Amino acid sequence: MASSLRTVFILSLGLSLLFTPTLAGIALIRDTCKYATVHRNLCFQVLLSKRESQRADAQGLAKIALKIAHDNASKLSAELVELHDKAEDMSDLQQCLEECLRQYEDAMEQLDDASVAVDTRKYREAAQWVSVAQGDVRLCQVGCKSVPEYKNMLTKQNSNVGRLCSITASILRSLAVKH
């Protein structure tokens, strides 16, 4: 009985240490997010929410930020496809969604290119790819501004993807200066 309690205690302690953020990890996340001046708090929240970021180096944090931006763009792209399929043929909304889909496909490709650049430590190039992706997200937003249905449906998600790209580009620019 005592040995099984000791095993449970040791296992619980080990698991809590594994999932507890390290002070060094939190400090690096905070230091990294200071470059995301406009969205510093969001940067900290997003990176801290990913367990792997608490043990990552600066390059690892950049990769995590890229993945988060890509995942959010991919999720929104899937929503765009769904909404496009439900929209009336040749409506302003359908045309807007088609254009946004093209923009998001481009943005996801550019985020993939940025990831490859990070893998080879070409941070300036990666930041440029992310900035271009952010521009595509912005084009989607601006291009559909006149469509009232779009504004109600996707403005918030589109803005979130834009903010995530901004954070990622800031992190990458800081890495380019350091390396």
Per residue in 76-133, pLDDT (tens digit) is 999 999 988 888 887 888 888 999 999 999 999 999 999 999 999 999 999 999 999 9
Say if CB 153 and CB 159 are below 8 A apart.
Answer: no
Per the structure, how many domains does the chain have?
Answer: 1
Q: How far apart are CA 64 and CA 41, in angstroms?
A: 16
The SS3 assignment for 153 reads: helix
Could you list the residue range(s) of the whole structural domain that residue 153 is in?
2-178
Domain of 132, CATH number, reads: 1.20.140.40
Tokens of 10: 């040791």
Query: Does residue 170 carry a pLDDT above 80?
Result: yes
Contact yes or no for 134/159 (Cβ under 8 A): no
17 pLDDT more than 50? no
Q: What are the b/e assignments for 107-144, b being 16+ CB within 10 Å?
A: bbebbebbbebbeeebbebbbbbbbbbbbbbbbbbebb
Q: Among candidates 76, 29, 82, 40, which has minimal Cα distance to 167? A: 40
